[in-house]
Amino acid sequence: MASTLSGKLVVAISSRALFDFEEENRLFETGDEAKYMHYQLEHVQQPPGPGVAFALVKKLLAFNTSEAQRVEVVMLSRNDPASGLRVFASAQAAGMRIERGVFTRGRDPFGYLRPLGAHLFLSANAADVQQALSMGYPAARVLTESRPAGAHYPLEVRIAFDGDAVLFSDEAELVYQQGGLPAFVQHETELATTPLAGGPFKPLLAALHHLQQQAQASQTMRIRTALVTARSAPAHERAVRTLLDWGITVDEAMFLGGLEKGPFLREFEPDFFFDDQRSHVLSAARHVPVGHVGALQPAARQEKG
């Protein structure tokens, strides 16, 4: 019988998101493929430091036991197959059981998300992330300059999400862009009991909810989620009611009404935070590991805070 990833939380991740390969990436970008491959092979047994998503991946893999494999992490990389030897060796040295990988030698890798059925794609390549999002997969560009996750809560995965255009659709965000804050508040107040459509990260939140339910019996690893949004009362109501309609709850909700998100995230101490807006991403990156849901370009639209 063929193996299957059905029923598992599937995370596809690039080598730069998992490990600190920034020096190697600078060599890769020179275009000297032979020199890059030689360097990687020469350093196969020298593991790099942890990358921005290292703590998240290590904790998610801890949900796997000898009785049940609930999480699958797959390397999805523009590296060549020979350089992939170092990636797998580094994962093994870090105590991570990562057995599957796709290495494309510079070719776009995001198409392989479909056969993987990935619930999350993390990459340092903005173009790959944008393409994955356009295909309907939860994807984020890892900011390699983000502050690493702390060593707190070893038995708890902590993930924080922005609301509009991340967990929820961009419907309300578009109203804000077109009519400003008064139009946004009026729109959300009038539709307070009408659930928002799902955004790109709804499938990940649902998969995490399912994983939490699966693992409840073991009481070993836990998941704690937070909604961290620029919404404030009365626009908070529609967000809360939407999650209730989905049958998915978050553990914490922060309705910040335009306050800077970074200091609040510092207190929550997530293993990862996902947001679509430039100012929030840059603020958060000073405190916690961050993934930008989209390409990190200069702001071309106003942000509601």
**Active site residue ranges:** 162
Q: CA 259, CA 206: separation in Å to the nearest integer?
A: 28
Q: CA 120, CA 109: separation in Å to the nearest integer?
A: 14
Token pair recorded at residue 139: 């994807």
Q: What is the 3-state secondary structure (H, E, C) of 84-146?
A: HHHHHHHHHHCCCCCCEEEECCCCCCHHHHHHHCCCEEEECCHHHHHHHHHCCCCEEEECCCC
Task: Name beta bridge partners: 168.
Answer: 164, 198
Token pair recorded at residue 217: 């019996």
- The CA-atom distances, in angstroms, between 126 and each of 83, 108, 140, 255, 291 are 21, 12, 8, 28, 11
Q: Which of 132, 142, 153, 180 is nearest to 62 (CA)?
A: 153
- Neighbour count for residue 136 (Cβ, 10 Å): 11
Helix/strand/coil for 97: coil
Q: CA 131, CA 123: separation in Å to the nearest integer?
A: 11
Amino acid identity of 221? M
Pairing between strand 156-161 and 120-123? unpaired
Q: Which of 17, 269, 43, 256 is nearest to 120 (CA)?
A: 17
Helix/strand/coil for 39: helix
Task: Name beta bridge partners: 161.
Answer: 227, 274
The answer to whether the CB of 53 falls within 8 A of the CB of 7 is no
